[in-house]
Structure formats: structure tokens, C-alpha cells
Structure 1
């Protein structure tokens, strides 16, 4: 299995930046006036970090915040999410720091979350002293590995990054054991549902956990079936959103299959048409597969006629049936025409 730690971290940091700071950098969080808006400056940061000598880009964020003492301050949050030790990391932090200052002439606070599994790698500064001149950047770090000893305690914390950290650590611990990962992911999902959080936050965090703790298709289907059944027993209100996530995943897989099919079809002028047709067919097939999975979880095995209706439907009709399934109490209600 190939893990992707980069994309989910980007999403969760943007949507829950105050909680991110409170969990990993509480001292800095206490100095920021969160009653005023904070602004992400990703495009500005990208323009300052395109040089080849900076090497492989890490996940980094530049955020404008206001301090409680009334001063505006640019905050550079640079996250190591690749899980590997980088000898040039501290120098890169230094380079980003002075380039941001040179561009904006504002104080810059650089900090880093290190998510690799090497407990001893803890870069915290870069600089030099020559001929009476001293140049030095010291920056705070949070080490994900430090939470590995308190994974059980993370479940009792109210900050959403406690569960995100647990998901990340358990993904590392189960990298070569898909069955253990499925069990861990199932437990975290139930813990997430037990939180007294608003609907959108639960949806956002489930998406991140789902992204981090990838499973093979067969085990993923088994997990999603369990989620649907759990929600039915618990009278949860997140079913439609979880189904929609599943539909999106099914559509993405269908798009990939369709693209592969389309590429094989045509040559020259016929190639574009083949790709377009393959994309549409793949999208419809992925949505149909996911709808059938959800209906089986709710109403049991599908009879041949129901399966045939799904197989013959277009994407718009499948989407309408998926929406009906949220509150339907029977297959007939799902397939109603209006």
C-alpha cells in the first residue's frame, strides 16, 4: 500500500489551523489573537520558494495572524510529512524565513511538525558565526513520534488533531499489516462519531483519517459496510455524507479506469473521443458500484432486477437514487421516480 500523508495534512491545516496551533504549538497559540481573521498566503510562499537549490518541497504554509499585543506577524508553518530524515531541512527553514522577511519586512516565526519515525532527528536551528558576525535561526518543533507513547490518551482529548495524530501514528505502525490497519481505522471512526462535534467537522476529519489510513479495496468495502450498519444502529446523521465520500472515491476509481480504457481506444482523431467516452463510462461504473455496496449494506443482497436497474442507469439517475437511499426504508423507496 502507498501512503499519502501530504494531501490530507494540507486540507486539515487549512480548515482547522487554530486547533493545529493549540495542539502542537500551544505557547505560540496563546500569543495569537484568534478573534481576528488569519489568512493563508500559499501563492506568495510558492513564489518565494521555486529555486531548484531548495530541493524537494515539503508541505509548508505561510499564514498572516495578529498577536494579542497588537502587532501583526507573519507565521511560517512548515510541515515535514514525508516520513524521512532530511539533512537540509534546517537550512531550508532558514532560507524560507529570511526570504519571507525580505519580501514583507515583518517578523517571521518559523516552526515545524516532524512526522518521520526517527525519534532522534530533531533539527531546531541553522546558522553560523564568522569574524565576529553571528547569523542564527532557532525554531520550535513538534515531533509526532513523541505522541506514540500516548496513543491511547489521544482518544480522550477534545482537540481534533489528537485523532489526526493517532491516525498518522497507527498508519505508520500498520504499514505492512492491512488487517490491523482496518481494525485501527474502525476504532478511530467510532471514536470520531462519539465526539460531540458539529456535523461538518466530523465529516472533514473522517475524510482526513480515510485519506491517511488507506486500505486495499476489499478491506475498504468491508469497513464502509460496517460504518453504514453502525450508523443505522446508532441513528447517526452522517450517513449521507459518508456515502457521498464513498461515491467520490468510486467515481475517482472509475475515472481512472475510464481514462485507461479511453487511451487504448483511438488513434489520432479518434483518441480524444475514446478518452471522453471512457471517462464517462468509468465515472458511471464507479458510481454504480458504490451505490450497490451501500444498498446491500442497508437492505441486504440485491435481487437481479434491482442490480439490472443500477447497471443500466446513467450517472444522474444513480446520484438521485443515492440521495433517496439516505432516508429510504426500502428498495422501492430508493427507486421511486420522484
Structure 2
């Protein structure tokens, strides 16, 4: 059996919500085979996925991949088997991040040689660059010093200038994930545009899912969780989105039930959307309760001020109650 290890890399927290790195990491873990098929098709053909893939403890490489310092840390190692049966590892370095820093190429090389030196294994490296505005993408590291030269090249997938039309034509779930990533970058400061993109993408996926093979439909829950979180919108827009989306999901779930499908991912997606709605309703209820409590406290305070002969204008200023409310309280005493 051939052992091959996949190292998933992520940058440090950008300090903003949502957690883009965590979302990509979770989707890669959930749909690892599809990830390899989309981003590394040549290597994908050499992997025997029937033997499974194993996400190993990241402590395995901690001693030589320890670049945290607010920027990057080794996140996952995935062990896979090749079809040729050779006893060797392939370490696949995956980095999901936005703008690459000045030392990005050098850092990619350092990961390579540390992995190679530690385990003496061949290394497959790929960097996913999610910044849609970055046109210049470094894909190699060059070193030269008085005749001593080194040129290290690695694979790169950049979101910059990716064709939405071509991505939409793909049935791989990571094409939709890339589209969502592109939309997330382009609508960072435009909530209405983000809502429109999110609605369009989700409906497209729901409309195409019934025509996809059985195994493809199982992507639905993981993919929707990713899109829903990477393209976050306000509660108001989220409610509007659910009103539009839930009928599609209910229809799909009903069709799957009528078809006698044992596995029905539509019901899971529907439950997740309905649960979100309930959570928002609960939050609103709590907020209303707090607001009501504050209003009652303001009224009690106003009554005390009235008893102490404060003028209406003074009471209004101190309690933020309007004149009508203050006069009603004065009459009630």
C-alpha cells in the first residue's frame, strides 16, 4: 500500500468574521476527494480513493512547521494511497489565504524542504490564493549565490480572473465554493449585492442538484453550510433569503422522498435553515424582553422623579421617555 500525506495549510486569523480559513478547511475535510479532483486533477488520477484518506494529527509536523506568529500554521495532514502500491508518501501542502506577503514564495519553499528533510518524501505543493484582486501570483522561489542556485516551483490556484461561466459549467462542488469565494471578495462592502449573488448561487445549485448523480447530491449540506457562512448577510436579508430558498429545498426533499431515496441530504439542509430561523426568532424575543425591561425600569424611575417634584422636561431628559408617557405616569400617581 502506498502512503501519501496531504498537508493542509491555512494562514492566521484575519481578525474578521466569518472564519474563511476554517470554512475552507472544513469543506476540504468533508469533500477531500472532490477537492483533489478539482484543484489537482493529475494527482487525483494517481490516488486510490477506494482505500480512503486519513486526516492525521497535525502534531506530526509541528516541530518543523511552526510559522504561527499571527500568520500561518500547519493545519492538517492527510494520508492517502496511490494506485501503484509503492511504499512512499506524497506530502501535499495546501495554503488557503488572501494576499500573499513578500516572503510567501520563500515560505512555501521552507515548508517543502522541512517536510522533505524530515521524512525524505516527495512533496506536492499547491497554494489556494483567494484574493480576487491579486493579479501577480508567485509560483516559484529562486535562490542564487555565487554559482549556487536553486529554483523551487509549486502549484497555484488563484481566484483572480477565474471565469464564473466556466465554473458554473462544472459539476464539482468546489467550483461553487470558488464562486462563493469570489463573490465574498467582490461584495465585502455591498450587502445587497452579496445577497443577490448568494441567492442566485444557492438557487442554481438547488435547481441543478436533482439532475446530478446520487453521490453528487450528498454534497448539498456541506456546500450550503460553506456558502451560507462565507457569504454572510444581515438578519433581515437572511430572512428574505430563506423565504426564497426554503420552497426549493422543500420541493427537493419531497421529490427525494417520493423517489424512495434512502439518503436524503435535502432534509438535512431544510432542517438547518429552519433551525437558523428559530434561533433568530429566539434572539429577537430575548432582545424584545430586554427592551421591555428597560422601558419598565425607565417608567419606575420617572415615577420616583415625579414624586420628587421634577419637571416634565427634566424627567424626559433623564429617562428618554416622551412627553405623553411622562404625563400619563404623572396622572396615574
Match of 2:145 among 105, 110, 130: 130
Q: Is the 8 A contact 1:60 1:78 kept in 2?
A: no
Secondary structure of the corresponding residue to residue 112 of structure 1: strand
Q: Is the 8 A contact 1:125 1:138 kept in 2?
A: yes
1:17 to partner: Cα distance: 1.6
Moved more, 153-162 or 62-71: 62-71
Summarize the alignment of residues 132-211 of structure 1 with structure 2, pairs less than 5 Å apart.
Answer: 132-147=147-162, 150-193=163-206, 194-195=208-209, 196=212, 197-198=214-215, 199-211=217-229
- Output the CA distance in 1 between the equivalents of 2:142 and 2:273: 48
Alignment: residue pair count: 255
Aligned twin of 2:282: 285
Task: Note closer, same or farther for the CA distance 1:64–1:242 as it changes in structure 2 (3 Å cut).
Answer: closer
Aligned twin of 2:272: 245
Match of 2:94 among 52, 55, 78: 78
Deviations 1:175-223 (A, max 9, x none): 2221222122112112222222545321111111111111111101111
Deviations 1:57-104 (A, max 9, x none): 1675433333333333232232232x2231121111112112222322
- Output the CA distance in 2 between the equivalents of 1:67 and 1:233: 41
Secondary structure of the corresponding residue to residue 48 of structure 1: coil
Q: Is the 8 A contact 2:62 2:74 kept in 1?
A: no
Secondary structure of the corresponding residue to residue 69 of structure 1: coil
Secondary structure of the corresponding residue to residue 215 of structure 1: coil
Q: Is the 8 A contact 2:168 2:176 kept in 1?
A: yes
Q: Is the 8 A contact 2:24 2:96 kept in 1?
A: no
Match of 2:108 among 93, 98, 121: 93
- The TM-score with structure 2 as length reference comes to 0.67
1:109 aligns with 2:124: yes
- Output the CA distance in 2 between the equivalents of 1:113 and 1:26: 15
1:133 to partner: Cα distance: 3.1
Task: Note closer, same or farther for the CA distance 1:60–1:145 as it changes in structure 2 (3 Å cut).
Answer: farther
Look at both structures and tell me which one has the larger radius of gyration over its CA atoms.
2
Identify the structure with the greater helix proportion.
Answer: 1
1:243 to partner: Cα distance: 4.3
1:166 to partner: Cα distance: 1.0
Aligned twin of 2:66: 50
Secondary structure of the corresponding residue to residue 76 of structure 1: strand
- The TM-score with structure 1 as length reference comes to 0.66
Secondary structure of the corresponding residue to residue 78 of structure 1: strand
1:249 to partner: Cα distance: 4.8
1:24 aligns with 2:36: no
Task: Note closer, same or farther for the CA distance 1:51–1:145 as it changes in structure 2 (3 Å cut).
Answer: closer
CA RMSD of aligned residues (A): 3.0
1:248 to partner: Cα distance: 5.9
Q: Is the 8 A contact 1:118 1:145 kept in 2?
A: yes
